[in-house]
Amino acid sequence: MTDLTQDDFSALLAELRPRLHRYCARMVGSAIDGEDVVQEALAKAAEAFPTAGRIERPESWLLRIAHNASLDALRRSKRQADLHVDLDLTEFADAGSQADARVATAASLTALLHLPPAQRSSVVLMDVLGHSLAETAEIINVSVPSVKAALHRGRARLQTFTDDTIPMLDAAERDRLRNYADRFNARDFDALRALLADDVKLDLVNRARFAGRKDESDNFTRYSGSSDWKFAPGIADGRPALLVRDPHTDAVTYLVLLTWKDGKIAAIRDFRYAQYIVESLR
């Protein structure tokens, strides 16, 4: 591949960000936390790029960085009790049937989180992102036979996993989200501005970050000029969220997270410019 210019590299990061998120979300078991990992991985990639030399396979290079960032996040959060490499070198005649691959593709984030990281990364890279055995081995820095073993075991585990847990909003949180959604849908932005803390923080994910009531007030103004949204209370990744639906199709297109402190909104995380995370919520 021709050496990448800085402009080429920036365009590549934007193009691959949704795929990197699909990987990171499944590695850390959360679409929302996965976005944080993507941001960390992209920052590390930007730092490494000037001295990286010729990058033959840019997607594999970026996924390797995302893989390491995901493992770092798991260690920090302690969501994965054991990060040992669960591999052996046994050759499997069938690296995976199409039926097994379909199970892995449809698996929830919760189900994938029950796999050891080596199995999880092999399943996601091959069955979700479509990489070959050789590419997967290169990305996670193990041998091809080891990937075969991890893939076989991971697919087998996913076939036995069931999750009957139905998350529920508590009454107070539901009422608070319902009140916000109703005011938003009525375009009563003055009432919403009154709910903001003076030092409210706004994160327009994948676009910009702001602090202070004025910037969030400007964001309300931007919303007032469009009609492609309808807010509703719900749950995303097991946490309270505002689900934003297309008013014409009722499909969830993105979400907004609110953080409250002393009855005021202290932070808003708006995923309007990161709609790719919805794919990982399904």
pLDDT in tens, 152-191: 999 999 988 876 666 778 889 999 999 999 999 999 999 9
Residue 82: the pLDDT is 46
Cα 257 from Cα 241, distance rounded (Å): 5
Q: How many residues does the chain have?
A: 282
81 secondary structure, DSSP code: S
Domain ranges for the chain, please list them: 6-160, 171-281
Phi, psi dihedral angles at 257 (to 5 degrees) = -110, 140
> Cα dihedral angle (179, 184, 189, 191), rounded to 10 degrees?
-10
Span 263-278, average pLDDT: 95
Residue 178: the pLDDT is 96
Cα 185 from Cα 230, distance rounded (Å): 6
> Is residue 83 over pLDDT 50?
no
Cα-to-chain-centroid distance, residue 125: 15
Amino acid symbol at 156: A
Class of domain 171-281: alpha beta
CA proximity to 35, closest of 7, 69, 83: 69
Cα three-residue angle 17-37-233, rounded to 5 degrees: 85
Q: Which residues contact 217 (CB under 8 A, 6 or more apart)?
A: 189, 193, 196
Residue 98: the pLDDT is 60
Percent of the chain with pLDDT over 90: 70
Residue 81: the pLDDT is 43
Amino acid symbol at 18: P
Burial of 209 (0-12, 13-18, 19+ CB in 10 A): exposed
Residue 161: the pLDDT is 80
pLDDT in tens, 89-141: 444 444 455 666 677 677 888 889 889 999 999 999 999 999 999 999 999 99
Cα 107 from Cα 31, distance rounded (Å): 14
Give the N- to C-terminal CA distance of the chain in Å, as an integer: 35
Q: What is the mean pLDDT of the chain?
A: 88
Span 17-21, average pLDDT: 97
Span 33-38, average pLDDT: 97
CA proximity to 147, closest of 196, 91, 188, 199: 91
Span 216-228, average pLDDT: 88
pLDDT in tens, 235-262: 998 899 999 999 999 999 999 999 999 9
Class of domain 6-160: mainly alpha
